[in-house]
Structure 1
Amino acid sequence: MALTAGKLEIETEIKAPADEFFKIFRSQAHHLPNICSDKIHKIEVHEGDWETQGSVKHWSYTIVLRRLESIDEENRSITFKVLDGELLNDYKSYKFTTQAIPKGEACLVKWTAEYEKASEDGSDPHGYLELAVNITKDIESLLLNA
């Protein structure tokens, strides 16, 4: 029997400060379509606001509705849970976390995907983690050129 649930992690080091990277996802997610328009087309608040835990935002790239599950200011970590969208065609549940870990004047960005596949023969979400790394690099470019 194939594994139907799992957890994958990927890390990438960037030259931007951890606090600045964390702030993009913490309170400035509405800027992401400007930062990486080829990957994220639009983000709209569906319920709540831009910063409050539990707020629901509609991200347009592979149409996804997700809830801001938790914010950990001390560890610069944010967890999102996918509520609706194309991603749930392949997964019964999908949650991802981004964490910005200070490393001198730079930081290590860690992305974690926790998921349950809709079927045993479904693929692992490696492509979504690669997308997260590409978004991370776009944010790094913005922060270094600001």
Structure 2
Amino acid sequence: MSKCGKVSADVEIKSPGDKFHEMVACKPYLLSKCSPEAIQTVDLLEGQWGKQGYIACWNFSFDGKPSKNTTIAEELDFKNKSGTWKTIEGNLTELYKNFKIILQVTSSEENGSSLAKWTLEYEKLNDNAPDPTTMLQILVDYGKRADAYLTQALLQCN
């Protein structure tokens, strides 16, 4: 059994792709407003929001239990609307030796919609560790709620 893996899921979003990426990369603390039942807080520990290398602590529910995960923004590419966050501390390190969250947002010029692709790359500590499908579902759900939040906010501005 392989200890390394990758899972991904796509979320169609109605809000502009650059705004969605900006929210995730620069304003992840808003996620607790979009999805308070899944993400309680996102606190900046070091660096500056939206700048490569910032470190944030996420307090969230994982499999129905309170969890913490500290990440570092390894890569933030605003031109290509992508980002990579690596787990450096927290509950996920009890299951995975390495754990990365990757976001890639692509925009369709045909219909104006965008696609947010969440990818999790991981290395299990042992064969008993589960594949992170629950974490992927949290990101999918969060993506849908963040999109609804942004869409509503943009409508209020117009």
TM range (shorter): over 0.9
Residue number in structure 2 paired with 1:28:
27
Residue number in structure 2 paired with 1:143:
150
Answering whether residue 81 of structure 2 is matched by residue 82 of structure 1, we say no
Matches of 2:11 and 2:138, distance apart in 1: 12
Matches of 1:10 and 1:28, distance apart in 2: 22
Residue number in structure 2 paired with 1:52:
51
Specify the SS of the correspondent of 2:39: coil
**Per-residue deviation at 1:117?**
0.2
**Per-residue deviation at 1:121?**
2.5
**Per-residue deviation at 1:73?**
1.5
Q: CA RMSD in A?
A: 1.0
CA displacement 1:97-116 (0-9 Å, x = unmatched): 11111023211110011100
**Per-residue deviation at 1:87?**
0.8
TM-score by length of 2: 0.88
Q: Which consecutive residues of structure 2, in runs of 5 or more, have no partner in the other structure?
A: 61-66, 154-158
Among 106, 110, 122, the alignment partner of 1:115 is 122
Specify the SS of the correspondent of 1:51: coil
CA displacement 1:42-63 (0-9 Å, x = unmatched): 1111111212101111111120
**What is the count of residue pairs matched by the alignment?**
145
CA displacement 1:75-123 (0-9 Å, x = unmatched): 1001000011111111111011111110232111100111000101221
TM-score by length of 1: 0.95
Q: Which consecutive residues of structure 1, in runs of 5 or more, have no partner in the other structure?
A: none
The answer to whether the Cα contact below 8 Å between 2:45 and 2:57 also exists between their aligned partners in 1 is yes
Residue identity over aligned pairs, in percent, reads 30
Bigger shift: 117-126 or 79-88? 117-126
The answer to whether the Cα contact below 8 Å between 2:22 and 2:78 also exists between their aligned partners in 1 is no
Specify the SS of the correspondent of 1:26: helix
**Per-residue deviation at 1:26?**
2.0
Deviation above 6 Å: which 4+ runs of structure 1?
Answer: none
